[in-house]
Amino acid sequence: MARRADKTQANRQRMREAAQVLFTRRGYAATSMQAIADEAGMSVQSLYFTFGTKRALLSELLDVAVAGDDEPVATLDRPRVRAAITDPDPEAQLREQARLAREIYERVAPVLQIVAHAATADPEIHELWETNNTQRAVVMDQLIGALAAKTPLRAGLDAAGATDVALALLSPEVYQFFTVRRGWDAARWEEWTADALVTQLLPDR
């Protein structure tokens, strides 16, 4: 049973990897389920049995890239996120948020590009894109709520405003702007973002 489960997971991963290769190379709309199955060396029936639809395959590809694994654990329940929430040092929390965002974007940036491009022409993928943005906002709301419980925020800033600032600074669009268009490496982006979060959200020392 364990070997069968391992094989099933390995096949699922092969399908996801094949999909990412073809979505990146051809675009989401131009990639058929048959082409993904061929790339993965699997039958198209197996692909449909595993994922049901191409949209569901892309959705799982995005979820796994964000999480870094395929374990069914919500973002807010993951150990490092919980550690950031419970860290008594507000600045340490913000720097860990920047570090986590960097690690996520290094994994997920190619998949986000696929979703963003497909969303302009496909209403279902647009919905997936909006769902991802909503999920980011929910997670950030919890993180900033934890921050506000540890320290006063910057003068004139309430929790809702702080969430907006953090969402903007930690957005995939800002990450892409600096690392793709301006040529920054991910470590430089992380350091700049962490400093910006501290400056914009915490009171002057």
Structural domains of the chain, with CATH: 1-52 (1.10.10.60), 64-201 (1.10.357)
Better-scored residue on pLDDT, 5 or 200:
200
Looking at residue 72, its pLDDT comes to 82
User: What are the tens digits of pLDDT across the range 151-188?
Assistant: 999 999 999 999 999 999 999 999 999 999 999 999 99
Contacts of 118-127 spanning 24+ positions with Cβ under 8 A? 118/23, 118/27, 118/28, 118/29, 118/58, 121/29, 122/28, 122/29, 124/55, 125/28, 125/55, 125/58
b/e code 135-171 from CB counts within 10 Å (16+ = b): ebeebbbebbebbbebeebbeebeeeebbebbbebbe
- 127 versus 3: which is more confidently predicted? 127
What's the rounded mean pLDDT across residues 68-91? Answer: 92
Closest to 94 in 3D by CA, of 26, 42, 169: 169
Q: Rounded to two decimals, what is the model's pTM?
A: 0.85
What is the tens place of the pLDDT at every residue in 117-138? 899 889 999 998 899 899 999 9
